[in-house]
Amino acid sequence: MNHGIYKVSAVSPHIALCDVRANVGEIKKTIDEACAKDVRLLVLPELCVTGGTAGDLFLLDSVLGGAEEGVYEIAEYTEGKNIFVAFGSPFMYKGLLYNVTVYASQGRVIAVSPKKVAENGFSVYDGEVTRLENLDCPFGNNLILWEKGGLTVASELGDELLSPLSSSAYLATHGALVICNPAHSVAKVAKADYVRALITTQSARLLCAYVRAESGEGESSTDGVYSGHCIISSGGNLLDEALPFGSGVAVADIDVSNLNKDRIKSGYYNQRANFVEFSLTEKTTPLTRRPEPHPFFPADCEKNKRAEEILQMQTAGLAGRMKSCGINSCVIGISGGLDSTLALLVAVRAVDKLGLPRKSVTAVTMPCFGTTARTKSNAYETCRILGVDFMEINIGESVKRHLADIGHDGTTADVTFENAQARERTQVLFDVANRIGALVVGTGDMSEIALGWCTYNGDHMSSYSVNTSVPKTLVRKLVAYEAERLPELSSVLVDIIDTPVSPELLPTDGKVVQPTEEIVGPYELHDFFLYHFIRHGSSKAKILRLAISAFEGTYDEKEIEKWLNVFFRRFYSSAFKRTCAPGGVGLGSVSLSPRTGWKMSDEAKNSE
């Protein structure tokens, strides 16, 4: 099963000007090389059958006749090959010469689409879509090729892309997920940068993949040169590029399923045009590149800039809530762990932004049966350096009395024993907030709420939750950024990062006895699962395939599958906790907010 993932390639083969036989041979060779890489869609340059700088030689019978024969031959060469090819050629129809994209697969021409711009002696076709008797295929503008696996392809030729009314907008809104751009474009200084920016922007704006292959070696250099620049972009991301005067080959995986789901959510892509069906044999192929293992904070992002932007958004959210409520102070439970540390850093930023003293933040540490000296010390030291108001309230005796009141023996370390501590802490925070007229800042992160790793009406609840859209892997990155930015806090923040994640709810002799990641699984895996499930609606099988590739050498397939099963079981069973989650700032395209993000019934069954 290909899961909607297609390997595509843009190639600029060496051409021999007006030597159709040589060019057909080169194109066949290119098709073979693409098939060897399991490419399903191959895009070749504009007019590559003859070369685009033929000038008046296009009018020669030998050139036109050779081009027609070449089109037949290239199409026939795709017989028995699991590939779809889009390439450029001159084409005669009813006495007029057209510059066309030819689509070929399964040993035949699937469709022919003419360029919409009149230039260099070529005509513009403005008639209805018709059928070519000699090729038994449709001919006309705005053709969209549809494959049963979900691949929909259309073409805009050459520098139509650069025009103010490019075809790609029409084609995309009428169903094309992949825009092919066979191009014959003379190189200019800085043009490659302009084209790259334009294509990535276009693919983002149109929620499409854009595949451009420019002419290169072999074209006439009398008045210009041709660089063989090839680009593949999808959804605003540059996936691969053959730089000008380079290899002339770009290859990438395009996930049309993800693109289509984004379009369904957008509401702008509900029109359909002239669809032409073709088919490819469904086959799971190796991924060209490993997926990003940490999609919430990818390796290629500007890390400090991204971290600061996220922190500013969290800060603006909390500051806005305090201002709108007319509240000038906040209360936060501080444990010495990652989540509460990040929430405290955000709270300090918020009161700074509002021009309030840092004593407006009341940090409350509430040690109990499982609290370790390391986390307690880190909590105290963080608050001391930040200059916030600090309270220590030992809840051990309160919890013991409560457990006795409900008939619990007070020693059995069961779920009641654990949750009684979490709910006692939450009660204390809200009561302190009531006493001083403050807002309770929630600390729980998105990974925990996804897995249900929180106590209902315990740490699950707050007045405003600043980490609600921050997954655990991102929490680490943000705290690490603050450790670099704030030298006075660096050592304590680094130690917090190095401390094993634990709710610290079980009795301890000073060591961590409840390591979260040994119980529910590695957070980097769960965050990867969460991203692909919520962002793209990917199936369990697809997520498993992507994760195996992303974490090759770190986790084996059996371990990944084990934790993936845990993720889905916990995600569905804990939906009721997310239904009544408190408000919090949304940061990106993945949100579990029941109001503005992921919405699902509490009773939904896991059908994966």
Mean pLDDT of the region 48-71: 89
Token pair, residue 102, equals: 């030819």
How far apart are alpha carbons 261 and 266 in whole angstroms?
Answer: 9
Q: What is the predicted pLDDT for the residue at 300?
A: 81
Nearest to 77, CA basis, from 45, 102, 114: 102
Q: The tokens of 279 are what? A: 């088919």
**pLDDT score recorded for residue 607:** 60
Residue with tokens 């804990």: 574
Supply 317's token pair.
Answer: 């959210």
pLDDT value at position 450?
96
Beta-bridge mates of residue 84: 41
pLDDT digits (tens, 9 = 90+) for 70-106: 999 999 999 999 999 999 999 999 999 999 999 999 9
pLDDT digits (tens, 9 = 90+) for 359-378: 999 999 999 998 899 999 99
**Nearest to residue 554, comparing CAs of 252, 294, 288, 255?**
294
- Residue 214, beta-bridge partner list: 183
Q: How confident is the model at residue 212 (pLDDT cuts 50, 70, 90)?
A: very high
Least confident of 160-169, 179-188, 242-251, 580-589: 160-169
pLDDT value at position 292? 95
Calpha distance 505→249 (Å, rounded): 57
172: its two tokens: 């995309």
pLDDT classification of 331: cutoffs 50, 70, 90? very high
Task: Give 208's pLDDT tier (boundaries 50, 70, 90).
Answer: very high
CA distance 101 to 180: 9
Nearest to 183 by CA among 229, 215, 230: 215
Closest CA to 495 of 382, 351, 347: 382
The predicted-structure confidence for 451-461, as pLDDT tens digits, reads as follows: 999 999 999 99
Q: Of the candidates 6, 29, 105, 18, which has an alpha carbon nearest to the alpha carbon of residue 57?
A: 18
pLDDT bracket for residue 608 (50, 70, 90): low
Strand order in the sheet with 237-242: 237-242, 230-234, 209-214, 178-183, 152-155, 143-147, 274-278
DSSP 159: G
Between helix 396-405 and helix 415-436 the angle, nearest 10°, is 120
Q: CA–CA separation, 66 vs 75, rounded Å?
A: 14
pLDDT digits (tens, 9 = 90+) for 221-246: 888 899 999 999 999 999 999 999 99
213 burial level (CB within 10 Å; 0-12, 13-18, 19+): buried
Percent of the chain beyond pLDDT 70?
98
Within 10 Å of residue 190's Cβ, how many Cβ atoms? 7
**Cα(246)–Cα(344) distance, integer angstroms:** 51
pLDDT at 428 over 90: yes
Question: Sign (positive/negative) of CA torsion 583, 585, 586, 591?
Answer: negative
Q: Which domains does the chain have, with CATH numbers?
A: 5-278 (3.60.110.10), 303-579 (3.40.50.620)
Q: How many CA atoms are closer than 13 Å to the CA of 364, on its beta-carbon side?
A: 24
Q: How confident is the model at residue 510 (pLDDT cuts 50, 70, 90)?
A: low
What's the token pair of residue 105?
A: 């697969």
Q: How confident is the model at residue 356 (pLDDT cuts 50, 70, 90)?
A: very high
Q: Sorting pLDDT into bands at 50, 70 and 90, what band is 502?
A: confident
Angle CA(6)–CA(293)–CA(176) in degrees, nearest 5? Answer: 25
3-state secondary structure of 222: coil
Listed ranges 161-170, 273-282, 392-401; the one with the highest mean pLDDT:
392-401
Three-class secondary structure of residue 154 per DSSP:
strand
Residue 251 burial by CB count (10 A; 0-12/13-18/19+): exposed, middle or buried? buried
Q: What share of the chain is helix, strand, coil (3-state, %, to 5)?
A: 40, 15, 40
DSSP annotation of 349: H
Per-residue confidence (pLDDT) for residue 548, from 0 to 100:
97
Is the model's pLDDT at 601 over the cut of 80?
yes
pLDDT band at 513 (very low <50, low <70, confident <90, very high): low
Does residue 115 register a pLDDT over 80? yes
Cα atoms in the Cβ-side hemisphere of radius 13 Å centred on 414: 6
pLDDT of residue 277: 87
| 390: number of Cβ within 10 Å | 18
Mean pLDDT over residues 22-43, rounded? Answer: 97
DSSP 57: G
pLDDT of residue 531: 97
- Give the per-residue pLDDT at 63: 86
Average pLDDT, the chain: 93
Measured CA angle at 581 (ends 576, 586), to 5 deg: 125
Q: How confident is the model at residue 16 (pLDDT cuts 50, 70, 90)?
A: very high
Average pLDDT over residues 160-170: 85
Distance separating alpha carbons of residues 385 and 499, to the nearest angstrom = 19
**CA distance readout (Å), 297 to 225, 302, 325, 471:** 40, 9, 32, 10
Tokens of 232: 């593949």
pLDDT average, residue stretch 398-420: 95
What's the Rg (C-alpha) of the chain? 30
Q: Please, is 389 exposed, middle or buried when counting C-beta atoms within 10 Å of its C-beta (0-12, 13-18, 19+)?
A: middle
Distance between CA 530 and CA 432 in Å, rounded?
A: 35
- Say how far residue 142 (Cα) sits from the centre of its chain: 29
CA distances (Å), 108 to each of 137, 156, 595, in order?
Answer: 9, 21, 51
d(CA 341, CA 194): 44
Which amino acid makes up residue 227?
S
